[in-house]
Chain A
């Protein structure tokens, strides 16, 4: 009862006044301009238009988050745009540089494979034991090199934890977009044991990568090879590899999200997501369930795109370790029991302030990392339209 007495607070879904929302958006607007128009960015008209469109887009979305008090919907516009525009810009660049989306072994030997964040956990054991990075890319030769991506990943991860998967991952947006299409899920019952899939893939690929000295996930299991950089097949095995990529992409990124309205690749396969979950332990931000308000209606559980809520976890007032802080449960809860929270503070301590602090950090990083990717995708589209 004592907890109930301290409960009055600014409700998460309470709309703010336009002026206050504008005031809260101002830092993000300035940050967007700084990030997208800093010295060194291309100055040709198409790049400038794309940068301006991105800055406005990111600022407007943040304003809407502030104005409406809702997070998930507005974040999703950004995230889906990121997911669909990343391959556009990336493939165009590949074709410009290499003439094809396929990567031949010669390019790998030359260390010209662009580095994405997915193999990061697979590099740890070989690096620790042999001081060798088992990725056929360069450490610092370009913006797609290992050092730059590792630095960005570390900075974002230390602050957001698994929030990376909802604000920075440039792959998750495709399946989130697919999951948003149907009005209702056709498959509602999902075996909860499938939640352990990413952990098993993580453990298996880490061990195999160490044994074979090869980033096994990239070689055999990455669904996103289908829309980024496939293997230049020179024999039957190469065709099988590409077949696996396409099959996994079709099943986990397209078909299952359409049927379940969940991010199935993230929930059942992605080893990087499992790895990121560990960092939720050190991130200051989290989502909690206020048991004094919760009516155990299960709305939050259904809304979670990542299966990060179970009956047991709700009963304990927690999300599961895999929570990516997308805000879907907070927005969906009719009793405002799902709340943003800063570790070390009382649960009833101003959840809207916790949300605001998290969103400033998350959106600043989203603009810095995702903003440039969106701008690059837009430049490509403008190039084709012109």
Chain B
């Protein structure tokens, strides 16, 4: 009964903080989705890859943080460093994604593969997986809230289960992103998506460097 209550709480926490997760992931999700080929099945594959990798990132971070006792007591400076590093990595991946998406074709394309990033054939990975994995580390406020609650649980397994239920709750809010599959793809849409990725990457790069240098993100 207690377990039911705890995991119900995780699910509810995920559901109510989903809009914040959706907002936080929007910049790294929308433009890559637009740069993919059109089609519901294709977008479902993209989203499931993204979310699966995001869950992996969540769990990995939670397990490591549990082990080093940092899930609840991570100092602000360390949190800023982690976020700075994640932002710089996200910027790099988005730049690479924008570059890799240059040869995507429109609705007439028969290939069902997601955009891969990487140069060597054997080391290519779907961009969706890398982006999802990195957003799993991005320490957004709902994630921190879930971390604080998970840290109060008895074991690492329970904490990880808490995160899984939390993840399921937040994932419901990602369903509307499938609507992007309705946008017809053509040269203009792909170009706008790639330019958007580059702009967002620039911003993340700037923000990441500022965080790593211990600076504020604003100049007021």
Contacts and interface: CB of A to CB of B under 8 A. Distances in A.
A109 to B, nearest CB: 10
B contacts with A: majority SS? helix
A74 interface: no
A239 B215 CA distance: 13
A127 to B, nearest CB: 12
Interface in B133-166: none
A220 interface: yes
Interface of chain A: mostly helix, strand, loop or mixed: helix
Contacts of A203: 30-31, 192-193, 196
A272 to B, nearest CB: 16
Interface string A230-271: 011111111111100000000000000000000000000000
A96 to B, nearest CB: 23
Interface in A212-239: 213, 216, 219-220, 231-239
Categorize the interface residue count of chain B. 20 to 34
A196 B195 CA distance: 8
A85 B70 CA distance: 57
Most buried by A among B196, B210, B216: B196
Contacts of A3: none
A211 B24 contact: yes
A33 B31 CA distance: 49
B27 to A, nearest CB: 4
A210 B199 CA distance: 15
Interface string A96-138: 0000000011001000000000000000011001100000000
Nearest to A242: B219
A204 interface: yes
Q: Which of B23, B188, B203 has most A Cβ within 10 Å?
A: B23
B165 to A, nearest CB: 23
Interface in B17-62: 19, 22-24, 26-27, 30-31
User: Which range contains the number of A residues in contact with the other chain?
Assistant: 35 or more
B215 A204 contact: no
B219 A235 contact: yes
Contact of A108 (B196, B215, B220): B220
Contacts of A193: 191
B218 interface: yes
A208 interface: yes
A142 B200 CA distance: 34
Nearest to B204: A208
Contacts of B196: 200, 203-204, 207
A197 B27 contact: no
Interface in A163-211: 193, 196-197, 199-201, 203-204, 207-208, 210-211
Interface of A: 104-105, 108, 125-126, 129-130, 193, 196-197, 199-201, 203-204, 207-208, 210-211, 213, 216, 219-220, 231-242
12 contacts: A126-B23, A130-B19, A193-B191, A196-B188, A200-B196, A200-B198, A203-B30, A203-B193, A204-B200, A220-B203, A235-B216, A237-B216
